[in-house]
Structure 1
Amino acid sequence: MYLHTQQLINEIAVDEPDPAAANALQEGLGGQFGEMRTMMQYLFQSMNFRGDTTSKPYKDLLQGVGTEEISHVELIGTTISRLLDGSPEYHGKKTDPVDKPGAKGATPLKIALDTSNIHHYLVGAQGALPVDAAGNPWSGSYVYNSGNLVLDLLYNLMLESTGRLQKCRIYQMTDNKAARSTIAYLIVRDQAHENAFAKALESLGVNWGAALPIPKTNAEKFPEVKKLLDKGLQSIQFTFSADDESQAAKLYRGASPSNDGTELSTAVMPEGFPMTIAPERREEFAPGLDKELLALIQATAEVEIASANGVTT
């Protein structure tokens, strides 16, 4: 079973809409090495896991990382939505002659023809989609689950390394604060997951570093990333185990495979940050609840509350 806390796993910085950055982030969501893929891959590996009780720490590690990836899908999808929300009013960068603004709102959705992914406006009503940056739908064929623990862990290590590399490239594509706050967080958490799978492989006697070294991206030069690294976020793994019965700590401990001088540790979950609901978008014909519906909901709720309290009407 899963529990959902109405909080984001990381705070999204406030900045103006940026539909081009939103489209770049789609690769980190629905691309071959994006968050939807990691979420599904680790959850399928944990669901299909086989072995006796001595192998439970490996299942728990996959379960914990996979559960965290659900929150990453939520985070990056929300970020894309915020970068798109109100983007028809985006006026572009005056210092960038290539950056086209959206006709000052004369045609409400004109910007959809100028930049970004037109499906963000045609299909998504200024929201995230399960696609990559080229608009290709996410595919379940991305998911790798061989049934062999060593092969799965090696593949997972490669997946996290490639994902982190891609996110470093996306970071270089935009200076939007909202986009960078999410990208930086995911870069650091990808490193934490690389550490997780590297430690698991070491416990199985696999000399992973000789064949598949963790790539040196020098991401600490990014200020948003450095802040998180200084907090040690790359060296902690969350179990998301409500009953605190996860045995992942048997694997995720000791010196970090990243050789950054930190020690690995586990925790149940981070504190999180408040979530907000996006406003209605009239130009997309995506309104909130109108007054009549709100009144009906309120009246229905009052009847249900009265019924629950044993009051007849």
Structure 2
Amino acid sequence: MFMHVQRLINEIVPDEPDPAAANALQEGLGGQFGEMRTMMQYLFQAFNFRGATGKPYRDLLYGVGTEEIAHVELIATTISRLLDGSPQYKGKATKPVDEPGKGGATPLSIALDHSNIHHYLVGAQGALPVDAAGNPWSGSYVYNSGNLVLDLLYNLMLESTGRLQKCRIYEMTDNKTARATIAYLIVRDQAHENAYAKALESLGINWGATLPIPKTNAEQFPEVKKLLDQGLHLKQYTFSADNLSEAGKIYRGTAPASMDGGELTTQTAPEGFPMDIAVERPEEFGPGLDPELLALVQATAELELKDADDPLVAAKKK
């Protein structure tokens, strides 16, 4: 059973809209090595886990998989913010919408010139479950062999590849909104590499001579270094509201030397950051509640409050 806390796992730093950066981030969301893949892969491995004696490993998969849900939320919201208002359409007093030959403005003209046109055609300036080329996310990406060692090795490789791709995306943009999210995900990928590496070591697997690949030296990115200095790569969240997770039996001790060392710790969940709701986009015909609907909602609420205060109505309900 999962619960949603209305806070983002990392802050979305404000900056100018950037549709091109939004499209690059789609790879980190819906690509073969993106956040939708890691979320589904780890959760399905946890759902299908067998053997009660292996509970700490199942709980580790559940904890990382649940965090990946928050990563999907974060990166999708970031993409939406990078697209939100990007046409910068203010309209004109006389001709707010284009009429051929009349000099009006074209509200969504930017969609023809910037990256993924589907962000505007079908997404209403929001994220889509696709990669950067527009290919739909596929469940065939998910690897769940039923063999714990194979799954852990594959997961370690997946986190390494995901971190590589995010480092590339970081190099593609200087947008503060994009880079803040990318840097956070780079560091959390390293934390998850630590998780799967320690799990493999606890099973006697000597993985360190080969993985992780590549050595990205991501600490060269200022936003990443700041998070590494805070030790974010050495924490793993259990998201266990009832404190029954045994993931701490694995995620403890010193991180592998190839992962920069340091003491590993677990905690229930991060504090998170406030969430807001994007403004209406009338040019996308997605304005939220129009005045008539809003009036109806308010009238209904007032009627329900009046009934709640009426003792006769309350008595009839009993």
Deviations 1:40-70 (A, max 9, x none): 0000000000002x21000000000000000
Larger Cα Rg: Structure 1 or Structure 2?
2
Shift of 1:292: 1.5
| Maintained 8 Å contact 1:237/1:266 | yes
1:213 is displaced (CA, Å) by 3.1
| Offset at residue 149 of structure 1 (A) | 0.4
Question: How much has 1:296 moved relative to structure 2?
Answer: 1.3
Say if 1:112 and 1:218 are closer, same or farther in 2 by CA, change over 3 A: same
CA RMSD across the alignment: 1.5
Where does residue 190 of structure 1 map in the other structure? 189
Which position in structure 1 is the counterpart of 2:301? 301
Tell me, yes or no, if structure 1 residue 37 matches structure 2 residue 37.
Answer: yes
Q: TM-score w.r.t. structure 1 length?
A: 0.92
Change in 2 beyond 3 A, CA 1:211/1:242: same
Q: Which amino acid aligns with 1:27?
A: E
What is the deviation of 1:306? 4.6
Equivalence map 1:240-251=2 (5 Å) = 240-251=239-250
Q: CA deviation at 1:260?
A: 2.1
Equivalent position amino acid for 1:201 in 2: L
Equivalent residue for 1:102? none
1:286 equivalent to 2:286? Answer yes
The change in CA–CA distance for 1:263 and 1:310 in structure 2 (over 3 A counts) is farther
Q: 1:304 to 1:178 in 2, by over 3 A?
A: same
Distance in 1, matches of 2:310 and 2:8, equals: 37
CA-to-aligned-CA distance 1:169-222 (integer Å, 9 cap, x gap) = 000000000000000000000000000000000011111112333531010010
Q: Which ranges of structure 2 fall in alignment gaps of 5 or more residues?
A: 90-103
Distance of 1:22 and 1:239 partners within structure 2: 30
Is 1:15 the counterpart of 2:15 in the alignment? yes
- TM alignment of 1:96-245, pairs within 5 A: 106-245=105-244
**Runs of 5+ consecutive residues of structure 1 not aligned to the other structure:** 91-104
Please give the secondary structure, in 1, of the residue aligned with 2:265: strand
Q: Give the drift of 1:124.
A: 0.2
Distance (whole Å) between structure 1 residues aligned to residue 20 and residue 33 of structure 2: 20
Q: Report the counterpart of residue 94 of structure 2 in structure 1.
A: none
Name the counterpart of 1:63. 62
